[in-house]
Amino acid sequence: MASAPEGTLPVPPATAAQLTPAEKYQLITQNLAETLGGEQLRALLEERDAVAYWGTAPTGRPHLGYFVPLTKIADFLTASVEVKVLLADVHAFLDNLKAPIELVEARAEYYRRLITAVFRSLNLPLERLKFVVGSSYQYDAKYNLDKYKLTSLTTEHDARKAGAEVVKQVSSPLLSGLLYPLLQALDEEYLGVDFQFGGVDQRKIFTYAEQYLPKIGYKKRSHLMNLMVPGLSGGKMSSSDPNSKIDFLDTPAQVKSKIQKAHCAPGEVEGNGVLAFIRHVVVPIGELFKGQGRASARSWVDGDAPADAVFTVKGDPKFGGSVRHFRTPDELDDAYAAGDVHPGDLKAATVQAINALLAPIQAEFAADAEFQAVEQRAYPPEVKAVPAKKKEKKYTPKPEHLKTPEEKARDAAKAAEAAAKEGAKKGLNEVEQLREAVVDTLSQ
């Protein structure tokens, strides 16, 4: 086993329980950008299984980018780690001061169901996956006292430094942004975890937690960091990048259309979101399937491929292209850099892989009326703004009893938004600033 290349530890679910602590440690820390406190974690695994925390704010619709942290979390679950997913509704609510709290609750529930569906689609054991809603403890007296304590130990300078890579950098940040690292540090204690997982952009928040939790009497945790993966249009993968935003419920045709628009210059590997997605999502999931004894479930590896292949690109025969199998993401990158793989062919293979990944999730959604209802409540159809007419037009509203439930929900949301705008004119821009800071922080 020691000779297995990094990231290819085969773990059939039947034998996962028999992994040695060292094997678990390898699985948990493989393919990461950095691990802080690795020795501490390694020692702990000799005693018992670990507990981990990953946070996300249930605001916008979860997009394809979520596959990146979830694919890494798949390793944790396989290695018997108890994974706590923090659904940060308090932040999401702040992000949505203008929206009714019910919307945020529905979104937290949608995130919970979707993330569960993703892990189910990956054939993973779910009994160690726990969802915790932020408001279940972030308003408590003890948490509040601890937060006061941290504010009395943390200078504005240190808070700003800790959030430097995740909180929007403006000359005068909102206080909520400055509090961010403090809350995220406390969450480790309140969720009772051994390590926190996040993108490498979280590094300064993680080192803040390591430094400050012991100051208020709590233990220092380990921190595991993913590489930053470029979005499909290049640059940081983020909700605010519309071309990165392939929705988990997008149809195969929509996926195809969006991938065709993705930034993927011939021969360019650096910042190539398509290659990055294959490296960080498709290949690791393929290895997971293989470890589960389900190599054939990897629809992105051709049936005729050699046993060690991880990805297949089929060139269009019209242009003399041939079928090529790759044994590692590096091999694929090299071939692409050398111009041996055409961007169109790469995209076609990627579309096929994405649709294969989405299919079981969408099937679960289609078969579950409750899941669908939650999605409707979480993201009611948007009301398009109608430009104001110069001449006032007489308008007879549809009688309340004739409205559909969707129309009622839409009108309620509109009224709440108008009321909030009225009460907080100046505040709104600042809320918007916060929204971006929250989304940037929590989207991986």
Pick the closer one to a second copy by CB: 393 or 426: 426
Q: At what angle do helices 175-190 and 203-212 cross, to 10 degrees?
A: 60
Nearest CA to 150 among 213, 218, 220, 205? Answer: 213
| Segment lying near a second copy (by CB under 8 A), choices 41-49, 248-256, 330-338, 421-429 | 421-429
CA distances from 304 to 257, 327, 354 (A): 28, 14, 20
Smallest distance, Å, CB 104 to a second copy? 12
Residues 6+ apart with CB under 8 A from 138: 90, 183, 190
| Segment lying near a second copy (by CB under 8 A), choices 283-291, 374-382, 392-400, 423-431 | 423-431
Pick the closer one to a second copy by CB: 89 or 201: 89
* Number of amino acids touching a second copy (CB under 8 A): 42
Work out whether 390 is an interface residue with a second copy (CB under 8 A): no
411: its two tokens:
């009108």
| Segment lying near a second copy (by CB under 8 A), choices 149-157, 190-198, 249-257, 400-408 | 149-157
Pick the closer one to a second copy by CB: 178 or 313: 178
- Binders of a second copy among residues 199 to 258 (CB under 8 A) are 214-217
Pick the closer one to a second copy by CB: 1 or 170: 170
**Alpha-carbon span 168 to 233, nearest angstrom:** 21
- Cβ(223)–Cβ(201) below 8 Å: no
Q: In the set 139, 254, 267, 296, which binds a second copy (CB under 8 A)? A: 139
54: its two tokens:
């990953």
Q: How many CA atoms are closer than 13 Å to the CA of 57, on its beta-carbon side?
A: 23
Q: At what angle do helices 21-29 and 67-78 cross, to 10 degrees?
A: 180
CA distances from 225 to 71, 72, 348 (A): 13, 10, 30
Residues 6+ apart with CB under 8 A from 317: none
Q: In the set 144, 251, 254, 260, which binds a second copy (CB under 8 A)? A: 144
N- to C-terminal Cα separation, the chain:
31
Work out whether 427 is an interface residue with a second copy (CB under 8 A): yes
- Cβ(38)–Cβ(222) below 8 Å: yes
Work out whether 15 is an interface residue with a second copy (CB under 8 A): no
Smallest distance, Å, CB 405 to a second copy? 27
Pick the closer one to a second copy by CB: 147 or 256: 147
Smallest distance, Å, CB 409 to a second copy? 22
Smallest distance, Å, CB 214 to a second copy? 7
Cross-strand partners of 86: 55, 132
Q: In the set 12, 125, 126, 148, which binds a second copy (CB under 8 A)? A: 148
Smallest distance, Å, CB 419 to a second copy? 9
Nearest CA to 410 among 383, 375, 374? Answer: 383
- Binders of a second copy among residues 151 to 210 (CB under 8 A) are 151-159, 171-176, 178-179, 182
Under the rule (CB under 8 A), what is the footprint of a second copy? Answer: 90, 94, 97, 138-142, 144-145, 148-159, 171-176, 178-179, 182, 214-217, 423-424, 426-427, 430-431, 434
